[in-house]
């Protein structure tokens, strides 16, 4: 594989995630707020998918029913600790390193139907694509070989599996422990199915269920 081809391959998996995270980080760094910013972030991310990843991403789920069930399982595991034990404000989960489980969404925006539709859509349609491309389809393979096209999807190596799960957990701040569980389940599902489409579907079902739960129950802290 030539250097240029390897770079294009890397961009296909990494660029959409990088655009999403960079735009979110810039918003917080500059202290800019506004519903239109989330729309802009989603638009830029979608553009990155279309430019870099359209030939890489796959929506073909070989096990759609099982993948949906896995997604619902992760959703249940995500909300269960707080529902059963109300542990979120313990120092293990809220501290200087992880931050606090407090929503960044202003109260007035929580009643804005257009924003809520956009937020649920972004969480359920865009985030699963960029995260599965980055975490399961790229990082798990890149840790085995930088020439990821030589590593089949779902290839299991202990270090790659657990480092990916740990970093996925760290991404979720005060929800790191359920993030770790989710990372393990999604990693396992990739190893089991060897299918990007199935992992995207599972992740999408989790995020859709969580989004509907947040709106229906008023548990806004799940949307940091």
pLDDT in tens, 136-176: 999 999 999 999 999 999 999 999 999 999 999 999 999 99
Residue 190 dihedral angles phi and psi, to the nearest 5°: -65, -45
Check if the beta carbon of residue 132 is closer than 8 Å to that of residue 199: yes
pTM reported for the whole predicted model: 0.95
Q: Is the pLDDT of residue 95 over 70?
A: yes
Q: Is the pLDDT of residue 2 over 70?
A: no
Residues contacting 127, CB < 8 A, separation 6+: 20, 203, 207
Burial label for 5, CB within 10 Å (0-12, 13-18, 19+), is: exposed
- pLDDT category at 8 given cuts 50, 70, 90 is confident
Write down the domain spans for the chain: 58-222
Measured distance between the N- and C-terminal CA atoms of the chain, rounded to whole angstroms: 40
Check if the beta carbon of residue 128 is closer than 8 Å to that of residue 200: yes
CA distance 60 to 195: 8
CA distance 141 to 164: 10
Residue with structure tokens 């599972």?
202
Six-digit token string for 101: 């489980």
- pLDDT category at 1 given cuts 50, 70, 90 is very low
Q: Facing residues of 47 across strands?
A: none
- pLDDT on residue 65: 98
Q: For residue 97, which of 172, 152, 197 has the smallest C-alpha distance?
A: 172
For residue 3, give Cα distances in angstroms to 118, 150, 173, 192.
38, 15, 35, 31
Question: How distant is the alpha carbon of residue 213 from its chain centre?
Answer: 17
- pLDDT category at 30 given cuts 50, 70, 90 is confident
């Amino acid at each position: 594989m030539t250097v240029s081809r390897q770079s294009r391959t890397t961009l296909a998996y990494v660029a959409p995630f990088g655009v999403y995270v960079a735009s979110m980080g810039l918003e917080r760094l500059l202290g800019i707020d506004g519903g239109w910013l989330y729309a802009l972030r989603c638009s830029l991310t979608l553009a990155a998918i279309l430019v870099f990843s359209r030939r890489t991403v796959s929506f073909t789920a070989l096990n759609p029913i099982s993948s949906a069930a896995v997604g619902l399982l992760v959703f249940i595991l995500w909300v269960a600790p707080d529902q059963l034990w109300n542990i979120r404000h313990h120092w293990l989960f809220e501290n200087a390193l992880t931050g606090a489980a407090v929503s960044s969404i202003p109260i007035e925006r929580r009643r804005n139907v257009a924003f809520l539709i956009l937020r649920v859509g972004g969480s359920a349609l865009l985030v699963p694509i960029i995260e599965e491309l980055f975490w399961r389809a790229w990082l798990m393979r890149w840790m085995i070989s930088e020439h990821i096209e030589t590593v089949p999807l779902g290839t299991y190596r202990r270090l790659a599996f657990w480092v990916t799960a740990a970093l996925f957990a760290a991404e979720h701040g005060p929800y790191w422990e359920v993030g770790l569980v989710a990372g393990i389940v999604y990693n396992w599902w990739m190893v089991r199915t060897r299918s990007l489409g199935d992992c995207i579907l599972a992740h999408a079902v989790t995020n859709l269920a969580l989004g509907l739960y947040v709106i229906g129950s008023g548990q806004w802290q799940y949307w940091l």
